[in-house]
Structure 1
Amino acid sequence: MIQSYINHIDYYLPEKVLSNENLAAEFPEWSVEKIAKKIGIHKRHIAAHDETSMDMGIKAAAILFEKNQIDPKSIDFLLFCTQSPDYFLPTSACIMQEKLGLRKTCGALDFNLGCSGFIYGLSLAKGLIAGGIAKNVLLVCGETYSKFLNSSDKGNRTIFGDAASAVLISDEAVGLSAKIGEFNLGTDGTGAENLIVKAGAMRQPDASGTEVQDDYGNTTSDADLFMNGPAIFNFTSQNIPELVINNVSKNNFDLGDITYFVFHQANAYMLNHLRKKIKVSQDRFPIKMDFCGNTVSSTIQIALKELHEEGDFSAGDKVLLAGFGVGYSWGAVTIELM
């Protein structure tokens, strides 16, 4: 079978910064120290009013091309993951093809996933390469959850930041040269309403405008992102440890063979809970979100890029990647550095 490799990663963060100090000034009951300790985030980047997920994705891809001297004409397929597209139609990826100078013979499509989006995108890219459809796949993830958040929703505003990432997956190993292994994927639609924006699409085109406050003082309406934090925590706690065990086994490794476990960077509290459940030491379980927050489908890529830049990767390292969240949707894959 034709192998596929993660070769280059880059990301883009918007200019505007929302710091813990900014949030504490708005919500005096939340101290800077409390936010940092529980959530593990010191600041997040927020897209400008006229800046979209597609805009950020284009910027991330342009950074990737320039830094790594990648010819846009070498891209055979563009995958764009977002839950905040510019339009219902046309497909954002089609517009990005023109903006990025990709060939007209390049395939392009959007797919709608959240925190598991990168893992699913890797599985699609691997399939395109294994099927001989593409040699070079550009996987872009971009999200502007900030545009879904109620200004009085202090809980979600402390967690989410906006960002975009761009990854080149190819049939030859260069750059980072991380061989993509076997996947485990999962879905449970019974949890759909625990992380949702109800209004705006075809099921409920118009928002009622009615605001509701939860037991923690967070305010949302049906036009805003709603997250049932306890339910999401329980779903993650019940499903992700088993996902990790199954993926390690599917790739014919033991837990001890894995150099790093790079999970979706949801928040520090949840990540540390999961780390303890799968009995992994802190040095093998990096958390890289303090400077950008939970960027949804880009968190794993940002963490990988930071680890690579810091010189933490070596040939032979095995890294288990796991994404999980809205849907419910989850997935894992183990990559091996060449």
Structure 2
Amino acid sequence: MGATIKAIEYVFPKQKISNDDLQKQFPDYDFAKFEDKVGIKNRYWVEENETAFDLAKKACSKLFENCNKNDIDYILYCTQSPEYFLPTTACILQGELGLRKNIGAFDFNLGCSGFTYGVSFAKALINSGQAKNILLVTAETYSKYLHPKDRSNRAIFGDAAAATLISFSEEENIGEFLFGTDGSGYDKLIVRNGASKFPLEENPSEIEYGTENKYTNNHLYMNGPEVFNFTNEVIPDFTKEVLAKNNIETDNASQYVFHQANKFMLNFMRKKLKINPEKFYINLEDGGNTVSCTIPIALKKYSQSIKTSQNIIIIGFGVGLSWSGGLININNKL
């Protein structure tokens, strides 16, 4: 008895922002060099009146083209771009999708580790007998938090939503997961204003950081060097712990799918772990860093290139500071 990832679908907004588009806004920056180093060519942003929830509905509708929505008995909704502070967006999603009323639904606020957390949550619900078919939704619109003059973050982040069906299975296709938290680094990636502690400011002051980047406390701030240091110091050893927990050697995993932060960071960790490039999936060129959606998008794309089931190590890390990861088995029918 166990759980399995049965299907994944994802959507991007229609508005594509290319490096050429950003070059016009930031003419003094070398976006060709950025593309080569970071690996991002295009990202997609929602329109002003479009939300993460709009993307989530589209991703779920796409999933239900091949899956029966009446089988869903639990919704896990991961976002840092909720419709409202309250009520829970997952409850609204249940109504909008026309799902049964005798199901569970809750939101959880996690960023780049959100999908890996969600897979583990789903496995626990299934293995404890509380549910059989979990709809795990990740949806983010970080573009709404980006300052117009914040060249670094505007180049990195894109919007997306992914819908994943995790179901009861006679075989266990979701292995052991581990987690990590360091709340002392909460301010390394943060939107300071707009919630309970600090209201949005009417005329916030611009703050300069890095190389000609600006933001305000109403907008997203990321301390890139500190986030890189955290990732480099924590994630390689954590990956080894996940491998050990699942009794698998580094070379015996079919593929590694990490949160798609940026190509330079990913390759830095890959080399530190001594993983062959062909076993380390990088999928950033079209879409960029879509936060909690990067791993399911990468899994969907990777699954289309395989012919047999494979063991995949998935690792999420980022805002919080938070990290998690585990072992899954997927096939080419996602």
Structure 1 SS opposite 2:169: coil
Correspondence for 2:115? 118
Correspondence for 1:48? 47
Correspondence for 1:31? 30
Give the aligned residue type for 2:115: F
C-alpha separation in 1, matches of 2:169 and 2:41: 38
1:168 aligns with 2:165: yes
Given candidates 290, 301, 309, the residue that maps to 1:306 is: 301
CA contact (8 A) 1:180 1:335 kept: yes
C-alpha separation in 1, matches of 2:38 and 2:106: 34
CA contact (8 A) 1:178 1:337 kept: no
Correspondence for 2:140? 143
Structure 2 SS opposite 1:186: strand
C-alpha separation in 2, matches of 1:247 and 1:288: 22
Structure 2 SS opposite 1:4: strand
Structure 2 SS opposite 1:332: strand
CA contact (8 A) 2:303 2:330 kept: no
Given candidates 87, 90, 111, the residue that maps to 1:90 is: 87
C-alpha separation in 2, matches of 1:131 and 1:26: 52
TM-score normalized by the length of structure 2: 0.96
Can you give the 5+ residue segments of structure 2 that lack an aligned partner in the other structure? none
Correspondence for 1:76? 73
Give 1:51 deviation, angstroms.
Answer: 1.1
1:254 aligns with 2:254: no
Structure 1 SS opposite 2:174: strand
Give the aligned residue type for 1:142: A
Correspondence for 2:263? 268
The aligned length equals: 330
Given candidates 103, 107, 110, the residue that maps to 1:106 is: 103
Give 1:33 deviation, angstroms.
Answer: 1.1
C-alpha separation in 1, matches of 2:307 and 2:271: 23
TM-score normalized by the length of structure 1: 0.95
Q: Deviations over 1:287-326 (max 9, x none)?
A: 11100000000000111100112x22522x2110000000
C-alpha separation in 2, matches of 1:53 and 1:11: 12
1:328 aligns with 2:327: no
Correspondence for 1:203? 197
C-alpha separation in 2, matches of 1:5 and 1:121: 13
C-alpha separation in 1, matches of 2:141 and 2:209: 23
Give 1:214 deviation, angstroms.
Answer: 1.1
C-alpha separation in 1, matches of 2:241 and 2:269: 15
Q: 1:178 to 1:216 in 2, by over 3 A?
A: farther
Q: 1:14 to 1:275 in 2, by over 3 A?
A: same
Give the aligned residue type for 1:31: D
CA contact (8 A) 1:43 1:291 kept: yes
Root-mean-square deviation (CA, aligned residues, Å) is 1.3
C-alpha separation in 1, matches of 2:63 and 2:101: 20
C-alpha separation in 2, matches of 1:332 and 1:125: 14
Q: Deviations over 1:226-283 (max 9, x none)?
A: 0000000000001100111001110011111111010000011111111111111111
Percent of pairs with identical residues: 47
C-alpha separation in 2, matches of 1:178 and 1:211: 51
Structure 1 SS opposite 2:232: helix
